[in-house]
Amino acid sequence: MKSLMYLAAAAWLASAAPPAPKASPAAASPVGPEAVWSPPAEFRGTFDASCAGAGRDMSACFLRAIKKAGASPAAVAFARRLGGQGYLIQFREAGVVDVAYAEYPFRANENRVILLVNGEPPTIDVDDPSRISAKTFAGNAAYAALLRSAPELAIFPGDRSSPRFPRVRTRADGGRSFVVPYALKDGCHACRTLGEAQVGFEFDARGRFESVAIMRVQARSR
């Protein structure tokens, strides 16, 4: 049964949409602490047994399973916002824009995700490649120096489990900057870390997303 589950989950993830959640009328509803869900100890086994053969319907089966396991309507709605692939494990109020910590239990890597919610747009995945990529760092001298010494330099998520991140800074104009850490590695997820970066997600005072800003890039001492 377990091997069937892994194959089904792999097919599910292979056919899934890109990681950044897309806004929809349902997704635009405000997110709050009532959407947090903690799976019971037996959930994984129950899910394996009931959804192993679901194939491309795995997301719908996941939503049914968490509802049956006691997830609140708000928790199910948030899981639906994540494409039926994850759920909210922690919520942090931060003003107009808040922070949602989500768990994607069937990913091979990066199971924890930080989302900026309740602003405009309603959901931003801080690891969305359309927002964070090598282009984001173009023009940063420290990044350019690292890239010269390591042409395969790649950007990976930093700590996504600690409630210390992102750090929230209030700007002089009333806007907020959500400062998120990233790891700069030598080409692959398992490769050595060559440096760290901090990127600010900038919102105006009304919660409208403006831009990403490179706060710092630092090479790791050898």
Task: Tell me the per-residue pLDDT of 130-159, one tens digit each, with 9 for 90 and over.
Answer: 999 999 998 999 999 999 999 999 999 999
Least confident window among 6-15, 122-131, 164-173, 184-193: 6-15
The arithmetic mean of pLDDT across residues 83-89, rounded, is 96
Q: Which domain holds residue 172?
A: 126-222
Q: Looking at the structure, tell me whether residues 57 and 150 fall in a common domain.
A: no
Give the pLDDT of residue 124.
Answer: 97
Choose one of 99, 122, 145: the last residue of a domain.
122
Give the pLDDT of residue 29.
Answer: 85
Give the pLDDT of residue 28.
Answer: 63
Q: Looking at the structure, tell me whether residues 82 and 154 fall in a common domain.
A: no
Asked if residue 10 has pLDDT above 80, the reply is no
Decide: helix, strand or coil at residue 200.
strand
Gap between the Cα atoms of 202 and 173, Å rounded: 12
Give the pLDDT of residue 93.
Answer: 97
Q: Looking at the structure, tell me whether residues 91 and 176 fall in a common domain.
A: no
Q: Looking at the structure, tell me whether residues 22 and 107 fall in a common domain.
A: yes
Q: What is the mean pLDDT of the chain?
A: 88
Cα-to-chain-centroid distance, residue 96: 19
Decide: helix, strand or coil at residue 176.
strand
Gap between the Cα atoms of 36 and 161, Å rounded: 15
Give the pLDDT of residue 48.
Answer: 86
Choose one of 93, 122, 151: the last residue of a domain.
122
Q: What is the CA radius of gyration of the chain?
A: 19
Q: Looking at the structure, tell me whether residues 8 and 93 fall in a common domain.
A: yes
122 prior amide bond cis, ω within 30:
no
Plot region of 119 (φ>0 → left; ψ -120 to 50 → alpha; else → beta): beta
Q: Residues 35-65: pLDDT tens digits?
A: 999 999 999 898 888 888 878 789 999 999 9
Q: Looking at the structure, tell me whether residues 83 and 144 fall in a common domain.
A: no
Give the pLDDT of residue 14.
Answer: 40
Which helix (H) or strand (E) covers residue 116, if one does? strand 112-117
Give yes or no for a contact between 217 and 211, defined as CB atoms under 8 angstroms apart: no
Q: Looking at the structure, tell me whether residues 144 and 109 fall in a common domain.
A: no
Asked if residue 16 has pLDDT above 50, the reply is no
